Structure 1
Amino acid sequence: MKSGFFLRALRNGLFAFCLAGAVVPPHAQAEQQDRLVIFDDDGFALAQWMVLKAPHVKVLGFATVSGDFWQKEATAYALRGVEIANRPDVPVVAGATYPLLNTEKRTERWESLYGKLVWKGAWMKQWVEKTNQPLPPYHAANSVPDLPWGNPKTKAAPETAVSFMLRMVHQYPGQVSIIECGPMTNLALAQKLDPEFASLAKELVYMGGSLNPQQKLNTPAAAQFAREFGNSPRREFNIRFDPEAASIVMHAPWKKIVMVPADPSTETEMSEAFVKDITQSDTPVARIMRKSANNFPLWDEIAAAVWLDPSLIRTSTDVYVDVNTAFDAQYGDILSWSEGYQPRLDEQKEHVVLRVDVPRMKALIKDLIARP
Structure 2
Amino acid sequence: MLKILRSCSVLALATFAQPAFAAKFIYDQDLTGPGGTAVQPILLFLNNPDVELLGITGVVGDDWLAKGVAHTLRFLEIAGHPEIPVYAGASEPLVNTPQRMAIWENLYGPISWKGAWNNYEDKPADFDPGLAPDLAEGNPKIVVQDLSAVQFMVEQVHKYPGEVTIVAAGPLTNIALAVRQDSEFASLVKSVVISNGPKADFDVASGEVKSIDAFNTVFDPEAAQIVLTAGFASIVVTGLVNTTVMVDAELVEDMTQPNSALSSYLTENAWMDLPLWDEVIAAVAIDPSLIVRSATIKAAVDTNFGRSYGQMLSFKDDVEPGIGAGEVNVALELDAPRFRTMFVDAVTAAE
The TM-score normalised by the length of structure 2 is 0.85
Mean Cα displacement is larger for which, 48-57 or 67-76?
Answer: 48-57
Contact 2:86 2:145 in 1 (8 A): yes
Aligned-pair identity in percent equals: 37
Q: Which of the residues 242, 246, 254 maps onto 2:232?
A: 254
Contact 1:209 1:234 in 2 (8 A): no
1:318 shift after superposition: 0.9
Instruction: Name stretches of at least 5 consecutive residues in structure 2 with no aligned partner.
Output: 1-7, 32-37, 121-126
Contact 2:297 2:315 in 1 (8 A): yes
Alignment match, 1:104 = 98
Contact 1:202 1:255 in 2 (8 A): yes
Q: Distance in 1 between matches of 2:182 and 2:102?
A: 33
Alignment match, 2:166 = 178
1:45 shift after superposition: 1.6
Q: Distance in 1 between matches of 2:134 and 2:9?
A: 29
Mean Cα displacement is larger for which, 163-172 or 344-353?
Answer: 344-353
Contact 1:209 1:239 in 2 (8 A): no
Alignment match, 2:44 = 50
Confirm or deny that 1:274 pairs with 2:255: no
The letter of the residue matching 1:311 is S
Alignment match, 2:137 = 149
Alignment match, 1:131 = none
Q: Distance in 1 between matches of 2:290 and 2:232?
A: 23
Alignment match, 2:74 = 80
Secondary structure at the counterpart of residue 105 of structure 2: helix
1:282 shift after superposition: 5.7
Q: Distance in 2 between matches of 1:106 and 1:253?
A: 29
Deviation by residue 1:264-303 (Cα, 9 ceiling, x = unmatched)? 1333211222221233476543232112332211110111
Q: Distance in 2 between matches of 1:352 and 1:318?
A: 6
Q: Distance in 2 between matches of 1:347 and 1:210?
A: 12
Alignment match, 1:203 = 191
**Paired residues for 1:1-372 under 5 Å:** 26=12, 31-43=19-31, 44-125=38-119, 140-211=128-199, 236-261=214-239, 263-280=240-257, 283-294=260-271, 295-343=273-321, 347-372=325-350
The alpha-carbon distance between structure 1 residues 306 and 283, as it changes in their structure 2 partners (threshold 3 A), is farther
1:234 shift after superposition: 9.7
Instruction: Name stretches of at least 5 consecutive residues in structure 1 with no aligned partner.
Output: 1-21, 127-138, 214-227
Of Structure 1 and Structure 2, which has the larger fraction of its residues in helix? Answer: 1
Deviation by residue 1:45-76 (Cα, 9 ceiling, x = unmatched)? 21122223433111110000000101101111
1:180 shift after superposition: 0.4
The RMSD of aligned alpha carbons is: 2.7
Contact 2:29 2:169 in 1 (8 A): yes
Contact 2:112 2:208 in 1 (8 A): no
Contact 1:281 1:370 in 2 (8 A): no
Alignment match, 1:3 = none
Question: Larger relative CO (CA 8 A, sep 6+): 1 or 2?
Answer: 2
The letter of the residue matching 2:188 is L
The letter of the residue matching 1:352 is V
